[in-house]
Structure 1
């Protein structure tokens, strides 16, 4: 009887060890995949890049046609100038992929947040802030802070999908945070961005943490 219990414990230990090793390996692989995507510069000569950019516009502005590829209209969804490619320099293609992912999978939420970002007093540049939050998600992944979240979320190998989902959580939560804090102006963005960053890092210290947009949206 004792031998059977020992065998059961030994089997559980081996299984848990295999899962742990799989998660550790998967985390490293996920970081490399995210890093590789970040290192790809946005290329306006690349048809796939351009298609994703146009898809972003169509998802966010379904009732307004983009009159030209280079246009001041891009400012309407929070880019800085008339050609968004310059705004992707820091995060490369990763910034665009995240924006498109959120708009594609949470279209209503993305449009609502875009609308809120145009608030006359508390408004902010939707796309620029989105790219900034990509940097936040990336840095949390890079320094290992996302480990507990991903290990709790996925029993096997974490995928790029899971990184995108975390990004979606950040976008949704940052918008709520921004309006709750009511900054005096967008000039204080860095201050509130850091405050939000510290809040997220605090949540990620919880050993049982799982931060997903699905949970956030539950009544």
Structure 2
């Protein structure tokens, strides 16, 4: 029986950032096994081979479109930042009046802001922070049901496995028990994956099955990537503190005022942006950290754009409309 291209699994260490991500080398701990398993039938594999040339051409065109879309969004953000630097940095009266901070070269804020929040923003921020404080508990029935729901959304035509099964590796978990992979990501990272699967089912399936573009031989694991994205967003938006004071965090609070699910919606944009950068860079899983960092930097730049008043105004949101 034909097998898929072998993809080794990414070990991310503690998702809470206290440990650096690391990657197992070939032959250690049996990590030469396929991440996504085997083809189900020989005939499906043969059919894939028949259409290989046509699919390769389509993938290359798709990759080019993603590359140019991503590049265009980056140019918009960089141009806006360059213009802000000129205006704010000048000695003009306008430059002295403008006190908004801007993103530095390393993606960090030059100055913290003390935001004034409406009662609605206060309430939604408090609710979001409460969600972030909930750890994943594999013994909790609600959390178990959420895992089952994720499986049904990911594989609607397949039988639901037990909560400890080798089949979970096909979704990109590191082992047969997904509950061991959440760590600092918490329950909200599972909620984010479910939200993505419900709101953008087509893109969820494309990223889950790596259907877009020309892929690396060793791909990033889908579920583990999703957990990392949830944590990176919370860190970038400064949501662990009492009240965000970073530029990205303050701009996010503005979006939260008009969209209660702004964090979940931003998560979908970030996941798609990460995958687009993965394809544009022709990355392999050894470069996962680099792609994740560049995704964070790009999101910070786009959140700094003055005309962004909703998640849909982000240039990267266009990636979900393709």
Aligned length: 195
SS in 2 for 1:102: helix
SS in 1 for 2:161: coil
SS in 2 for 1:121: coil
Hey, what's the Cα distance between the residues in 2 that align with 1:62 and 1:157? 33
How far the C-alpha of 1:158 sits from its partner, in A, is 4.5
Is this contact kept in 2: 1:117–1:124, CA < 8 A? Answer: no
How far the C-alpha of 1:60 sits from its partner, in A, is 0.6
- Does 1:62 find its partner at 2:156? yes
Matches within 5 A, 1:71-90: 71-90=165-184
TM superposition score normalised by structure 2: 0.55
Hey, what's the Cα distance between the residues in 1 that align with 2:259 and 2:279? 32
Matches within 5 A, 1:95-134: 95-116=189-210, 119=215, 121=217, 123-134=219-230
- Indicate the structure with greater helix content: 1
Distance 1:44 1:218, change over 3 A: closer
Matches within 5 A, 1:1-219: 23=118, 25-116=119-210, 119=215, 121=217, 123-142=219-238, 143=244, 144=246, 145-151=248-254, 153=255, 156=257, 158-159=259-260, 161-183=261-283, 185-209=284-308, 210-212=310-312, 215-218=318-321
Is this contact kept in 2: 1:113–1:175, CA < 8 A? Answer: yes
Could you tell me which runs of 5 or more consecutive residues in structure 2 were left unpaired when the two chains were aligned: 1-114, 239-243
Hey, what's the Cα distance between the residues in 2 that align with 1:122 and 1:211? 32
TM superposition score normalised by structure 1: 0.78
Distance 1:203 1:120, change over 3 A: closer
CA RMSD in angstroms comes to 2.5
How far the C-alpha of 1:43 sits from its partner, in A, is 1.8
How far the C-alpha of 1:56 sits from its partner, in A, is 0.4
Could you tell me which runs of 5 or more consecutive residues in structure 1 were left unpaired when the two chains were aligned: 1-19
Distance 1:31 1:41, change over 3 A: same
CA deviations 1:110-166 (Å, max 9, x no partner) are 011111179452521101111111012212322441432552x46x4642x121111
Is this contact kept in 2: 1:77–1:114, CA < 8 A? Answer: yes
